[in-house]
Structure 1
Amino acid sequence: MLRRLSVVLSLALASVSLHAQDMATTCHASSSYDVTVASGSLLFDRPQPAPLRVELRDGTLRTDGASVALRAEDQDRLALFERELRALMPRAKVVAGHGVDMLASAMHDEGSRLSLGADTRAELDRRVAARAAELKQRIAASNSTHDWQGNIADQYADQLANDLLPVLANDLGQQAINAAMSGDLQAAAGLRDSATDLATQLRPRLEQRMQALTPQIQALCPAVRRLAELQQGIRAGNGQPLNLLQVGQ
């Protein structure tokens, strides 16, 4: 049973973490590049196709190390693109932080739902808060999409699951032992029902709670569309459209 709970908890937390980060579905935005926001420039990079590296700096454009001649109008638009992307970044971080807070609140409510002991609930809240603070610190320090590649959400979910499961297992296990020793079969059955509910319903409940984040993500979409518009008509050094960002309907 505990193994099943571990798998479900990891999947649930991973899906919630990804939901908090993902603007592609909500804003219909995508990019083949990773972006790094440096102190004096924006760097876009990808493994293929060319250009592999695009650098924006105060209205100037370099692709794969070569300067690209631009009209004054295009220079102004790229400078505005850079300023508006920098302005969007802290707004996106705020939304991601709200997602972390929602997750911590949801896990607190799950602890209350399980009728855990007061000490167990306190320890559960402490561990969730510690992981939430760690993730929010990581969000605050990040300046590149490279920081979130691979299975970062899965790793965070696994770490949180490993923190929480021993607390849940010890409390539920002790309650089950006490119920068995006292001959309270109804209480023992209730514990089994609680464990089954957690295993089958935790993920849907968490995902439903996280839907409240969608309007906050939607509020970022106009700024994302604005970025896509600003790049229109500007070409890279190879003559192809710049296409740092694509926004669909």
Structure 2
Amino acid sequence: MRCTRLLAASVLAFACASLHAQDLSQVCHATSSYDLTVQQDQLIFDRTEPAPTRVVIASGTLQTDGQAVGINAEDQDRLALFQRNVLALVPRVKRVINHGVDLAMQAVQQEADGMNLDADTRAELQRRLQAHAADLHQRVAASQSTHDWHGDAANQYANQVIGDIAPLLASAMGQQAISAAMSGDLQQAAALRDQAANLTSGFQPRLQQRLQALRPEIQALCPDIQRLAELQEGLRASNGRPLNLVQIGQ
């Protein structure tokens, strides 16, 4: 059923990204054209275009597109502080993501609670949701790059969740519909149809509303992201262009 597929897919709406870019843009007015990979001793920013397409910051040094950039002592200090601040920000971002995962899974559970599922199906759904939440938490903990949450990677995980949850819910709702039809209870059959339509049209807005609880946590990140933008000001790549690793709009 389309509603069950939507329900499962929507779990990932805010959970399968290092931090939802639209939220950062809307709440902190922060954007970046780069992906970020965090390693023990360096930060790697990369993008397809324009140049510089690869920026490496490591212990106060700067390299862009394979070329070392000469910088003065003050800029070295700023780069070192930029790197430390990014490293300190990463676990805070991950805490927000993990909270989003929990809220999303709770939203799915709440929607399922309104389906009048049998006890066995409810228990199995809870078990599967908990397993997916634990798996997502582990993935977030292990992830050191925004590349981990792009396109195919996110879609592949979404399909795994969909393939696990959707058949369970579809089977339960289908059995209810069959039972209602066989008993001649047209009113119940119509109610099931309306319930499916409500899930299809209403779940995503309800999920978004629930995830508004994350907004204060995201807002708490904004001053530190603003500080990163300030620390990079005036720094240029080997081709003379500003780095603009983080951009703050209005």
Query: Could you tell me the TM-score, scaled by structure 2's length?
Result: 0.90
Distance 1:230 1:128 in 2: 41
Larger deviation, residues 201-210 vs 182-191: 182-191
Report the AA paired with residue 142 of structure 2: A
Compared CA separation, residues 75 and 16, structure 1 to 2 (3 A): closer
- Structure 2: give runs of 5+ residues left out of the alignment: none
- Structure 1: give runs of 5+ residues left out of the alignment: none
Compared CA separation, residues 46 and 114, structure 1 to 2 (3 A): same
**Corresponding residue for 2:3?**
5
**Corresponding residue for 1:58?**
59
Counting only pairs closer than 5 Å after superposition, residues 90-129 of structure 1 correspond to structure 2 as 90-129=91-130
**Corresponding residue for 1:210?**
211
**Corresponding residue for 2:233?**
232
Number of residue pairs the alignment of both structures matches: 247
Counting only pairs closer than 5 Å after superposition, residues 63-102 of structure 1 correspond to structure 2 as 63-102=64-103
- CA-CA distance at 1:218 after TM superposition: 1.4
**Corresponding residue for 1:30?**
31
- CA-CA distance at 1:84 after TM superposition: 0.2
Distance 1:108 1:8 in 2: 14
Given that residues 9 and 162 in structure 2 are in contact (C-alpha distance below 8 angstroms), is that contact kept between their aligned partners in structure 1?
A: no
SS at match of 1:155: helix
Report the AA paired with residue 67 of structure 2: A
Compared CA separation, residues 11 and 126, structure 1 to 2 (3 A): closer
**Corresponding residue for 2:164?**
163
Report the AA paired with residue 81 of structure 2: L
Distance 1:166 1:233 in 2: 55
- CA-CA distance at 1:65 after TM superposition: 2.1
- CA-CA distance at 1:192 after TM superposition: 2.2
- CA-CA distance at 1:180 after TM superposition: 3.1
Runs ≥4 in structure 1, deviation > 4 angstroms? none
Distance 1:134 1:204 in 2: 25
Given that residues 43 and 56 in structure 2 are in contact (C-alpha distance below 8 angstroms), is that contact kept between their aligned partners in structure 1?
A: yes
Counting only pairs closer than 5 Å after superposition, residues 237-248 of structure 1 correspond to structure 2 as 237-248=238-249
Distance 1:49 1:193 in 2: 50
Given that residues 88 and 223 in structure 1 are in contact (C-alpha distance below 8 angstroms), is that contact kept between their aligned partners in structure 2?
A: yes
1:149 aligns with 2:167: no
Compared CA separation, residues 180 and 49, structure 1 to 2 (3 A): closer
Query: Could you tell me the TM-score, scaled by structure 1's length?
Result: 0.90
Larger deviation, residues 98-107 vs 146-155: 146-155
Report the AA paired with residue 59 of structure 1: G
**Corresponding residue for 1:21?**
20
Distance 1:83 1:122 in 2: 45
- CA-CA distance at 1:78 after TM superposition: 0.6
- CA-CA distance at 1:7 after TM superposition: 5.0
**Identical residues among aligned pairs (%):** 55
Report the AA paired with residue 167 of structure 2: P
Larger deviation, residues 183-192 vs 224-233: 183-192
SS at match of 1:15: coil
Given that residues 11 and 108 in structure 2 are in contact (C-alpha distance below 8 angstroms), is that contact kept between their aligned partners in structure 1?
A: no
Larger deviation, residues 211-220 vs 17-26: 17-26
**Corresponding residue for 1:196?**
197
1:132 aligns with 2:136: no
Report the AA paired with residue 21 of structure 1: H
